[in-house]
């Protein structure tokens, strides 16, 4: 298991088959969730999309949430958005928030899941990572000026974290601003 996970973390395409094999045999929901998360880079491939969609109906909320997160790359695939939308009413808030995050670009912010997602984002907004997450949310919703303010705040609060600078650079490029 450790070897396949390490290979997946290194971006080895051969890890895909090993992860699928492990997933077929894995009974622990915690390991299932971890393996589903590792399949994210291949989510748009039909076989992987099918596996992830099937796990949206798992009895364990951790597994459903991991499947929802991993499906983000497969959103353009027919049926994925609809399957995720059916999970917006999941009994577990963690799953609703995971689905809402994946659907953030088109989610109604006034819906229950939209309000829960915004509450989650606000609860973490006192940290640089929370500001980056809010920036990602507004960027996905094409609210670029608002996203820019959150990315700038993340960089100001933690000027030594490269991911914050990268997101700020992407945002400035989207706004066609050199700085």
> Does an H or E element contain 169, and which?
helix 162-174
Residues of the chain with pLDDT under 70: none
What's residue 40's pLDDT? 92
Distance in angstroms (rounded) separating the CA atoms of residues 56 and 67: 6
Cβ atoms of residues 141 and 176 within 8 Å: no
Q: What is the pLDDT of residue 11?
A: 87
99 contact partners, CB below 8 Å, separation of at least 6: 68, 84, 85, 87, 88, 90, 113
Residue 164 tokens read as: 């914050």
In terms of Cβ atoms closer than 10 Å to its own Cβ (0-12, 13-18, 19+), residue 137 is buried
Q: What is the pLDDT of residues 105-116, one digit of tens each?
A: 999 999 999 999
Q: How far apart are CA 45 and CA 47, in angstroms?
A: 6
Both tokens assigned to 146: 């608002």
Cα–Cα distance measured from residue 43 to residue 23, given in angstroms and rounded to the nearest whole number: 14
pLDDT of residue 178: 79
Cβ neighbourhood burial of 60 (10 Å; 0-12, 13-18, 19+): middle
| Residue-level pLDDT at 1 | 86
pTM more than 0.75: yes
What pLDDT sits at residue 164?
96
Q: What is the pLDDT of residues 46-55, one digit of tens each?
A: 999 999 999 9
| The predicted structure's pLDDT at residue 51 | 96
Radius of gyration, alpha carbons of the chain = 17
């Amino acid at each position: 298991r450790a070897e396949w996970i390490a290979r997946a973390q290194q971006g080895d395409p051969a890890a895909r088959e090993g992860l699928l094999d492990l997933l077929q045999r894995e009974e622990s929901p915690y390991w299932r969730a971890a393996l589903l998360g590792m399949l994210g880079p291949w989510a748009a491939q039909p076989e992987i999309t099918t596996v992830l969609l099937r796990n949206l109906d798992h009895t364990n909320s951790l597994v459903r949430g991991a499947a929802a997160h991993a499906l983000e790359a497969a959103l353009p695939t027919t049926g994925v958005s609809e399957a995720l939308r059916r999970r917006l009413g999941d009994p577990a808030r963690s799953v609703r928030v995971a689905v809402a995050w994946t659907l953030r670009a088109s989610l109604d912010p006034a819906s229950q899941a939209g309000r829960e997602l915004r509450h989650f984002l606000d609860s973490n907004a006192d940290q640089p990572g929370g500001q980056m997450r809010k920036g990602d949310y507004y960027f996905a919703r094409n609210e670029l000026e608002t996203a820019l303010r959150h990315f700038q705040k993340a960089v100001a609060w933690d000027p030594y974290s490269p991911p914050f600078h990268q997101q700020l650079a992407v945002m400035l490029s989207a706004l066609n601003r050199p700085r």
